[in-house]
């Protein structure tokens, strides 16, 4: 199922790095399903899935499970050391 593929791709993103929603969709096997990737991650409640490592293609951060962008930025900053 596509949802499981998306979550596995996101789980495999190394700490301190990011992928775009489009890159996640491509790696999960459906390159045009980047909006679906966003919906899947928005609904994710599993803290073991690092959704904060997925960003927009233009490099902007976007939302993180309903939190403000600054929260996502701070998490990534801590990971990058």
Helix (H), strand (E) at residue 21: helix 21-27
Cα 63 to Cα 52: distance, rounded to the nearest angstrom: 8
> Which residues form the catalytic set?
51
Task: Tell me how far apart the 2 most distant CA atoms of the chain are, in Å.
Answer: 35
Half-sphere exposure of 78 (CA within 13 A, CB side): 7
């Amino acid at each position: 199922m596509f949802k499981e593929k998306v979550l596995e791709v996101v789980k495999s993103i190394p700490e301190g790095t990011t992928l775009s929603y489009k890159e996640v969709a491509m790696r999960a096997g459906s390159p045009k399903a980047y909006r679906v990737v966003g919906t899947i991650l928005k609904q994710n409640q599993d803290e073991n899935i690092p959704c904060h490592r997925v960003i927009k293609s233009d490099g902007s951060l976007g939302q993180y499970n309903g939190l403000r962008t600054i929260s996502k930025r701070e998490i990534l900053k801590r990971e990058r050391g």
